[in-house]
Every structure is written in C-alpha cells, then in structure tokens.
Amino acid sequence: GQNIDQPTEMTATEGAIVQINCTYQTSGFNGLFWYQQHAGEAPTFLSYNVLDGLEEKGRFSSFLSRSKGYSYLLLKELQMKDSASYLCAVRGDDKIIFGKGTRLHILP
C-alpha cells in the first residue's frame, strides 16, 4: 500500500528552529513536495526534492533520503505567521499523494 506519515501536531517557540519529519512508502517515486496551509486556505508550495540532499530556501530547508523513504522540513527563526499545517506529498508513478499534515503551533 501507499502511505505517508508525519506527526499530527508540533509546538515551538518564536525565534526557534523546528524540524517536521515525513516518511513515505509509495509505488514509485518522482519527487517530494512540502506545502504550507493556513486554516481555511489553500496549500501553498514550499519546496520540491527529487534528489538526495538538502534544498535551502531562505528560512525553510527540505531534506530527502530516497533510500530511507524520509524527508524533513526545517524552519528557522520561527515567526508567528509560521503557525500553519505543513503537508508532505509524494509524486508516485501516476499521481501525488498527500500526508495528513502537521499542525505547527508557535508560542510567543
């Protein structure tokens, strides 16, 4: 079967660093996406990894290990506006499969 696992909720403090993990088992692998979704809004694209390693984009970085079926999203210098759900998604052989998302709470 196909499965994507990520923690349901996480809490971190403003200014700190947080790492959100994602493990996956899919039929085929053609890339992994991270999306941010604020409550009641549409997801917005954060990052894409298709090769092993770290991709950095400002305060956000995403890491991929294909052999381990593992990715993480790293958020630095957390701001209150980073309070949102973070969705891990994998493009398999023919479609993209989404995880259930990790709800991140930021404390002042």
Task: Please give the residue ranges that form the binding site for another protein (CB under 8 A).
Answer: 4, 8, 30-31, 33, 40-45, 48, 50, 87, 89, 91, 94-101
The Cα 61–Cα 40 span in angstroms is: 25
The Cα 108–Cα 27 span in angstroms is: 41
Nearer to another protein, 38 or 77 (CB): 38
Nearer to another protein, 100 or 105 (CB): 100
Shortest approach of another protein to residue 69 CB, angstroms? 17
DSSP annotation string for 34-64: EEEE-TTS--EEEEEE-SSEEEEETTEEEEE
Shortest approach of another protein to residue 35 CB, angstroms? 8
